[in-house]
Chains A and B, each alone.
Chain A
Amino acid sequence: MRAFDYHQAVDSGQAVEQAVRRDGAKYLGGGTNLVDLMRETVERPEMLIDVTALSRDIDETDAGGLMIGAGVTNAAVAGDARVRLRYPLLSRAILTGASAQIRNMATVGGNLLQRTRCAYFYDVAASCNKREPGAGCDAREGFNRYHAILGASSSCVATHPSDMCVALAALDARVHLLGPEGERELAFNDLHREPGERPELETELRPEELITAVELPPLPMAVRSEYRKVRDRASYAFALVSVASMVELDSNTEDETIADVRLALGGVATKPWRAWQAEAVLRGQPATEETLAAAADAELAVAEPLSGNAFKIELARRVMIAELSQRIVDARKGGES
C-alpha cells in the first residue's frame, strides 16, 4: 500500500473543500472495497477523506419516501423497520450481499461506488482497460463466468457487483450530490455508465463530487417487492444472476393485466441493469406466462455471451420469469386482503 494522508471530515462542505485542495484525494466510506484495492495498489490515493461520520440518518421525505444518508451502514439500511416494510427488496438485496461483518462496515455511498470484482481488474499483472486505459482486456478470452452479457463493449466486460444497487435501480431512487459547484441530484439509473470506449469512467460524478444521500420515492407497490440472487454457493458470494421485481395488477379489466412493473437485473451487466425493454413489453398486457416470456426475451435480445458465461442468458430468462410469476401470485393475494 502506498502512503497517504488521512482526514476525518466534520461536514460535507468541508469534505468537498478538502478534496478540492488535494490532488489524489479520495473519500473513504467503510473502506471494505477501497482499503482492499489500496492494498493491491489498484487504488493509490494520496489522501483519504473519511466521510463515514457524515449523513448517518434515514429520514421521511415530504413526498412520502425515505432519504438515506450516504454514511448509513448497509446493515442499518437493511435493518430499518421502514425499509423492511415499504421497500423489502432493498433490505433483501443488501442482506444477500457480502457478510454481516462487511455490511456493518460498508456505507451506502461506498456501496454505490464500489469497483468491479473482475479478477483481472484486481490483478495488477493482468491487462485491464478499466485499470489502465488502452492496456487491453484479459477477461474477454479469460475466466469470464462472472462477466457481463449486457451493456458490455469491446474494451470492457466487467460486471457491476452491487446487490443494493439493483434494488435502487428498480426503485427509481435519486442520488443527492455535493460538489465544488454546489448541490445537484441525479436519477440513480443515470449514475453509472456503460463502459463503451472509456471503461475507466464508471459514473457521471464530476471531480470531487460527494454522494450525500440516496432518496427513495414513495412507491406503494414496493410493499410486495422482492430480490432474488442466484450464485455459486448459498451465501457470501457475488451474483451470477439477480432479479429485483415488483408488479401491480389491474383486475378491473376482463383479462387481468399488468398495470405497472419494475424489473432490474444484477450479475449480468456492466451497470445495475434496469430492464426497460422487459417492462415496456409487460405494461398493460395480460398477466400470463406468454407475456412474461416475451418480456424476458425482449430484454435479453441484445445479450452477448462470452466464452464462459453463455449459461447466464438462459438463467436470467428463467429467473426473470419465475420471479415475475411469483410477484403476480403475491399481487393477487395482496388484492384480496
Chain B
Amino acid sequence: MKWTINGHVREAEVDFRTSLLDLLREHFQLSGTKKGCNQGACGACTVLLDGQRINACLALAVQVQGRDIMTVEGLAEGDALHPIQAAFVEHDGFQCGYCTPGQICSAVGLAEEFERGLPSAVTKDLVASDIEPSHDELRERMSGNLCRCGAYNGIVAAVADSLGREVRR
C-alpha cells in the first residue's frame, strides 16, 4: 500500500485493521498526531486528507491508499512555522500541548473551508458566501477539537489571528 504523506510517497504492508492514526504513529513514527479517544470524539488525531480535515482514528489506512495526507509534521517549511503554528505560539493556544497538533491541523482545514465560503451550524444566512469569522463561528467550527486544559480562548485567538481578522465577541 502507498500513501503520500507530507509530500513524500511512503509504502508499507499493513493489516486491513490498521487505522490511519496507527499507520502514522506506529509504522512511520510520525507521532505528532495524537491518540486521545480513538473513537472520533476528541479531534486529537486530526490530519488533512487531500486538504480536508478528518479524524485519523476513524479512517482505515487501506481506505485512504493513494491519497494525500498532511500531518502536523508537514506544516512548517524548514524552520519557518506555518502561520497557524506561529499564531498558536503567539496567543498561548495550548497548555499541555496534547490536543495542539489536532487543533492546528483542524485550523488549517477550517481556513480552507472559510475560503470556499462554507457555512456552519451557527451561520444565520446559509446562502451567504462571505461569512464573518466571528467568535461564535470559530468556536462552532473548532468544536470537533476538545482541549482538556481548556486553552480555548488562546486557541480561538490564534485561529482568528491566522485568518487575518479581529474576532468580535
Contacts and interface: CB of A to CB of B under 8 A. Distances in A.
Interface of A: 1, 3-6, 28, 30-32, 35-36, 39, 48, 50, 52, 75, 78-79, 81, 84-85, 88, 91-92, 95-96, 98-102, 104-105, 234-236
Contacts of B40: 32, 36, 98-99, 101-102
B106 to A, nearest CB: 7
B58 A36 contact: yes
A3 B63 contact: no
A52 B141 CA distance: 25
Interface residues of B, number: 37
A105 B126 contact: no
A99 B43 contact: yes
B118 A96 contact: no
A100 B105 CA distance: 12
Given A3-B15, A101-B106, A92 B126 contact: yes
Interface stretch (B3-11, B49-57, B92-100): B49-57
Contacts of A99: 40, 43, 55, 143-145
Contact of A3 (B16, B38, B139): B16
B167 interface: no
Given A1-B17, A36-B40, A100-B110, A95 B143 contact: no
B75 interface: no
B112 to A, nearest CB: 11
A101 B43 CA distance: 8
B121 A85 contact: no
A35 B62 CA distance: 12
A102 B127 contact: no
B60 A104 contact: no
Contacts of B144: 98-102, 236
Given A88-B127, A102-B58, 18 more contacts: A6-B60, A30-B58, A31-B58, A32-B40, A35-B19, A35-B58, A39-B39, A48-B16, A78-B119, A84-B126, A84-B127, A85-B127, A99-B143, A100-B53, A100-B120, A101-B46, A101-B109, A104-B54
